Chain A
């Protein structure tokens, strides 16, 4: 089978988890001798040659094509009505509004420059890039007729998937790695929600990274349950990491590692830490990462008078992440809403026992971890205390967790995906 896949990023140039998941999936597909045409807004040239890569920035658009204009017309509302970046300077705002006042539907053909240079990032031109990407997708779908099915990853490439489907008439699979409800709680960004919904509705089948995500898709987006399949993520490498780092402090370390934002539930970690610290002097807590709730967390930690045993590292990258996992005795992911959440699996690879919230997709596949409700700080504190003090349970997690990882392979995921393709094509 040959799949025309639309993504937004691909390793090594990634800024989110989406690129890693795409990489794993493509690798799994290759394992099963499936061909993938993988389109990204911007290619850097150092990607592993697993797929037939298409750099959207290199695609020349033939703007005389009538169908493209209708696609473009449908997309322009995205650009003019949305301000994804909440804090624009006065000059930038002026630029944006000037742009918006202009009636985009009447723009003559000169607007359709032959090529468009995508940044492939998540910047303030995101909406513009998303719609340009769709136009490029239409062109690619017209040029390359040699594919059987279209597969689009997350809302950023949903318009691209829809456009490709419109041009080619081929079936579309929409893959949901995260929804706007995960990212923003109840205060969803309407244009993003609209694109997500349109993508799922236009798709012939929807793939969700967890049952949790499927529930959101069904309940919040009104997609029929039988149209949605669950396809859990996997790990690229299930081997246990032997780290060169050693802990330099005598105390045990309990770690939170992730963005310090609403979605990740950092405040519950802080409250649970306080409960543990009251009972146990021999422990340090680390909150690694950065985000809009960081300062509030620091304030709370100072207010609870535990700054001497609760540390903030700021944003960690590369080797420091490995270092942090390696010296941790317990890893906690108290996410309020996590479509999947690959980080606990990384912790398992470092032989670190983990506590994960039931509101995470990974809880559906990882058995050897303590699962708690994110809001239940008493249960979280109990779990921390247990893993710190009762060797039996942490030892068991270490042994069985690594066994479990071996079953979480992208090959298995890809095999399931092929079945989903076949079913969709047979409809």
Chain B
């Protein structure tokens, strides 16, 4: 039997408060508690709680035939503990059914994989510990990097950390004529299997579902099933990867997205030869068909499916380089307060806010940004970073004087 792999990214960044030049050296608290809390509560009401309830219902109804997969960023888990214990509880209940797989990633939802192996693996370790702590000792076996960022080199690091599989985007420019609906393998470490997102069918749900100018609007379950059935028989896996906030937040309840999801599993099971699996199961059941070569990193963001949402313009590169200059010192100092802010400052969203690709994907960027312009985002981030640098210097002096 062929299989559908549903994977949801669950992530919230710690957004910075408006931090002024005058605050540098004086105010060491950077986070906008009010905004972060209100976003968390809003999304909890609109998405996490109703969708978790729906998934739990589907899992119980289909008795082992319906499965889903999540990744939780560390910044999301910390905020969930602080602002939404009810959401945490409902996720714990889902994981406890045994039909839900949880993936590994970096704690800070960071871009560390592009910069430093040491920092990357430190963050992955910290994330694994957090998952264990929140989900009754659960240990993730499959990896997915921030925003599905992947390259041959990143795959190599992931394999060396002990993972057998990784998720990424089925980017057109990497696949060419090939189909994303197979299992591939890393070109440096063939032992690492690679699952590719079917971006057409995934984005039909995640982005186009309520788009009235789309020629296939409205998306009904029957229509979606006909597309699933149109997949050539030789292709064994359909990877539907998307933001969890698709349900109820990006696509509002009024669009019918919950009804769509409520009806989909049964239709898949009765009208197609597909079932549902988690990535670990897919890796165990399906052999890799060939290596996939990804010399330059890809991601699932924007039309380009590359890194330009986070890096590339001067604002982003300056902020990114200044941040990672601190890497070794922060790890050496190993101070819990500093590590906490260090994790949160690495979150990719901060760089996303500085993106200046206004005309193609800019509207998506501005939807997710708490700032009016990328310039405001840069100024605020750099002010915070300047204070962070001062704190590191202070701490270093303190430590050295003790020694």
Binding site for B on A (CB under 8 A): 247-250, 284, 286, 294-295, 298-299, 301-303, 305-309, 311-314, 320, 323
**From B381, which residue of chain A is reached at the shortest CB distance?**
A307
Against A, the Cβ 8 Å flags (1 = close, 0 = not) of B383-403 are: 101100110000000000000
Write out the residue numbers on chain A whose beta carbons fall within 8 Å of the beta carbon of B319.
302, 307
By a CB distance below 8 angstroms, the chain A residues around B390 are 249-250
> Given A248-B24, A294-B375, A298-B379, do A311 and B314 touch, yes or no (CB 8 Å)?
no
A311:B315 contact, CB within 8 angstroms: no
Residues of A within 8 A of B378 (CB): 298, 302, 307
- Chain B residues closer than 8 Å to A313, beta-carbon distance: 20-22
Cα separation A250 to B397 with both chains bound (whole Å): 13
Bound Cα distance A308, B384 (Å): 9
- Shortest Cβ gap from B378 to chain A (Å): 6
Q: Would you call A303 and B314 a contact (CB within 8 A)?
A: yes
Question: In the bound complex, do residue B389 and residue A308 qualify as a contact, i.e. CB atoms below 8 Å apart?
Answer: yes
Is the CB of B200 closer than 8 A to any CB of chain A? no
B25 touches A250 (CB 8 A): yes
Ranked 8 nearest A-B pairs via Cβ:
A248-B25, A302-B314, A249-B25, A248-B26, A302-B318, A303-B314, A311-B21, A307-B318
Inter-subunit contact B373/A295 (CB<8 Å): yes
Query: Measured between C-beta atoms, what is the minimum distance from B13 to chain A in Å?
Result: 20
Contact with A along B317-333 (1 / 0, CB 8 A): 11101100000000000
Interface assignment of B88: CB less than 8 Å from any CB of chain A:
no
In the assembly, what is the distance between CA of A306 and CA of B319, in Å?
A: 10
* A295–B358 CA distance with the chains assembled, in angstroms: 14
Q: Which of B180-199 contact A (CB under 8 A)?
A: none
Closest-CB distance, A342 to chain B (whole angstroms): 23
Complex Cα spacing A303 to B378, Å: 12
A286 pairs with B322, CB closer than 8 A: no
Q: A286 to B21, Cβ gap below 8 A?
A: yes
15 contacts between A and B (CB under 8 A): A249-B25, A298-B315, A298-B379, A302-B313, A305-B321, A305-B322, A306-B318, A307-B315, A308-B318, A308-B385, A311-B379, A311-B386, A312-B379, A313-B21, A320-B22
Chain A residue at minimum C-beta to C-beta distance from B22: A323
Known: A299-B314, A303-B314, A313-B20. 5 other contacts (CB 8 A): A249-B390, A295-B373, A308-B385, A309-B386, A311-B383
Q: Confirm or deny: B167 has a beta carbon within 8 angstroms of a beta carbon on chain A.
A: no
Query: Residues of B contacting A306 with CB < 8 Å?
Result: 318
Please tell me the size bucket of the interface on B: 20 to 34
Is B149 in the interface zone, CB < 8 Å from A? no
Complex CA distance for A249 and B322, rounded to whole angstroms: 18
For the complex, give the distance between the alpha carbons of A308 and B321 in Å: 10
Does B206 sit within 8 A of A, measured CB to CB?
A: no
Q: Which residues of B contact A295 (CB under 8 A)?
A: 373, 375
Instruction: Tell me which residues across on chain A come within 8 A of B21, comparing CB atoms.
Output: 286, 311-313
Give complex CA distance A250, B379 in Å: 20
Query: Using a CB-CB cutoff of 8 Å, which residues 10-36 of chain B contact chain A?
Result: 20-26
Q: How far is the CA of A306 from the CA of B322 in the complex (A)?
A: 9
Interface pair B315/A299, CB less than 8 Å apart:
yes
From A286, A302, A313, A320, name the one whose CB has the most chain B CB atoms within 10 angstroms: A302
Chain A residues whose CB sits within 8 angstroms of the CB of B375 once the complex forms:
294-295, 298-299
- Flag whether B382 is at the interface (Cβ < 8 A): yes
Smallest beta-carbon distance A250→chain B, Å: 7
Name the A residues within 8 Å of B26 (CB-CB). Answer: 248
Q: Which residues of A contact B379 (CB under 8 A)?
A: 298, 311-312, 314
A299 to B379, CA, bound (A): 11
**Which chain A residue lies CB-closest to B376?**
A314
Contacts of A307 in B (CB 8 A): 315, 318-319, 322, 378, 382
Contact (Cβ within 8 A) B385 A302 = no
How many Å lie between the Cα of A308 and that of B25 in the bound state?
13
Residues in A neighbouring B313, C-beta threshold 8 A: 302
Complex Cα gap A247–B383 (Å): 15
Partner of B322, one of A248, A298, A308: A308
Which A residues are in CB contact (< 8 Å) with B386? 249, 284, 308-309, 311
Distance in angstroms between the alpha carbons of A379 and B113 in the assembled complex = 44
- Nearest Cβ on chain B to A313's Cβ, whole angstroms: 5
Q: How far is the CA of A247 from the CA of B23 in the complex (A)?
A: 10
Taken together as a complex, chains A and B put the C-alpha atoms of A379 and B107 apart, in Å, by 48
Q: Closest residue to A245 on the B side, CB-wise?
A: B22
Bound CA–CA A303/B318 (angstroms): 7
User: What chain A residues lie within 8 Å of B24 (beta carbons)?
Assistant: 248-249, 311
Q: Which residues of B contact A249 (CB under 8 A)?
A: 24-25, 386, 390
Q: How far is the CA of A239 from the CA of B24 in the complex (A)?
A: 29
CB distance from B21 to the nearest CB of A (A): 4
Give min CB distance, B224 to chain A, whole Å.
Answer: 43
A299 partner residues in chain B, CB cutoff 8 A: 314-315, 375
Find the A residue at minimum CB distance from B27.
A248
Q: Give every chain A residue within 8 A of B23 (Cβ-Cβ).
A: 248
Contacts of A309 in B (CB 8 A): 386
List residues of chain A with CB within 8 A of the CB of B25: 247-250
Nearest B residue to A247 via CB reads: B25
The residues in B between 68 and 108 inclusive whose CB is less than 8 angstroms from any CB of A are: none
Q: Nearest CB to that of A306 among chain B residues?
A: B318
CB distance from B400 to the nearest CB of A (A): 16
A298 surroundings in chain B (CB, below 8 A):
315, 375, 378-379
Chain B nearest Cβ from A325, distance in angstroms: 12
Bound form: Cα–Cα A299–B318 in Å: 10
Residues of B within 8 Å of A248, CB to CB, are: 22-26
Bound Cα distance A400, B352 (Å): 50
